[in-house]
Amino acid sequence: MRESQNLYEPAGDFPRKGIASKHLKTLRWILTAVCVVWVVWYFYHYRQSLGLFTSLSVPVMAILLILAAIHMCLYALQFYLVLRTCTPRPFSFFVFFKTIILGRIFSNVAPQGGNVYRAVYFKYKFGISYTHYLGGFFCFLWIDAAMNILLAAAVFGWFEPEFRIGAVSIWWILLAMTAMWFMPLLFEALFRRQSFHEGILLWLHSRISEMLRVAVQSLSHIRMLGMVTAANTVNFVNAMAFFYLCLSGFGNDVGVPVLMMFFVLMKITSYLIITPGNFGLREIAYAFLGRQMGMDAGQAMVVSLLHRLAVLIIVVLLAACFGGYDLLYREKQTKDSNGRRS
């Protein structure tokens, strides 16, 4: 076996898609349709909530777009720093940022579509195996989740330790998130006690083991961790500012714990992708959160939709810019090639 295959090829074949995966895809689209219909039904019956879109001033809307652009840049930077540490081949931030923008478009069509696109792109462009990419992606989510749990614990512990969502204490929610953070380690420990010789369990064990190995190795890079921590903290403040401008613009007197809950829910719905872009599902979750905190459900959903709209505008603008750049770059290459021939 070639050495390059050991480094860059995943051990073993990916399991083939079966009937179960087709049914799962169908169920996801059915769930998406149900959620979207519910959101449309709500705004049809409570049309006054639609007026919230025009209640924000033009300067505030402009600031929201700037905050969305900063969010995309910082998100890409965090992911880039982790992935560069986890993968054996170098690549520029500009190249990676383009895959983030295009991947966001694909994610709105299919769950994890952006990650599938990036994994295939880096596989064939830079020779980075799917396992190394998935290990980097898992490490990025792992670090990001750990930092967000710590930030949430610090905020609620300082501002409102008795904060509740309905009858549930915030500490039970953070405990559940912490348990989910440790689940990959638990699965690896359970698999290690078993011996698998073939089938999907063997494939799953090898994939989890390899991803954990890549992720754990990257945690020894202190400089990377420091830079990711700084970017994560700035992005946290950026998100809190976005939610504050929206909610205060709707006439709500919101405190830091309420803003923190919107941030936590945004993160949870970005980690657990069930429907394409979690469209509709995130809005319903925001509506439930708003009602539990004594707010209007329509206001909470409009906050989610404003965040989607701001990010979508930035993504479309950047995608257009990158498309124009690539077009000019190819035209320049063609002219240079014709010049050398002449």
Which 3 state secondary structure label does DSSP give 165? Answer: strand
Backbone angles phi, psi at 113, to 5 degrees: -60, -35
Q: Which residues sit opposite 164 in a β-bridge? A: 169
The partner residues of 168 in beta bridges, in order of sequence, read 165
Whole-number Cα distances in Å, 132 to 16, 84, 232: 20, 10, 23
The contacts found for 169-174 with CB under 8 angstroms, 24 or more apart, are 170/257, 170/261, 173/264, 174/149
What b-and-e string marks burial along 14-25, b requiring 16 or more CB atoms within 10 Å of the CB? Answer: eeeeeeeeeeee
Closest CA to 194 of 180, 181, 211, 206: 206
At residue 339, the pLDDT reads: 52
Distance CA 293, CA 63 (A): 26
Residues 39-59: pLDDT tens digits? 889 888 887 887 787 788 889
End-to-end CA distance of the chain: 46
Distance between CA atoms of 229 and 248, rounded to whole angstroms? 28
Q: What is the DSSP letter of 167?
A: T
Round to whole Å and give the CA distance between 299 and 262.
Answer: 12
Question: How do beta strands 164-165 and 168-169 pair?
Answer: antiparallel
In one-letter notation, the amino acid at residue 322 is F
Ordered by start, the domain boundaries in the chain are 51-329
Q: Rounded to two decimals, what is the model's pTM?
A: 0.79
Q: What tokens appear for 168 in the block?
A: 């549930």
Amino acid present at 198: E
Kindly report, residue by residue over 276-325, the tens digit of the pLDDT.
778 888 889 899 888 888 888 888 899 989 999 999 999 888 888 876 55
* pLDDT, tens digit only, all 342 positions of the chain: 333 333 333 444 444 445 556 677 778 788 888 888 998 898 888 878 877 877 888 899 999 999 999 999 999 999 999 888 877 778 888 888 988 888 888 877 777 778 888 888 888 888 888 877 887 888 888 888 888 889 889 999 998 888 888 788 888 888 988 888 787 777 666 666 666 566 666 666 676 676 676 666 776 778 888 899 999 999 999 999 999 998 888 777 788 888 898 898 888 888 777 877 788 888 898 998 888 888 888 888 999 899 999 999 998 888 888 765 554 455 455 444 545 555
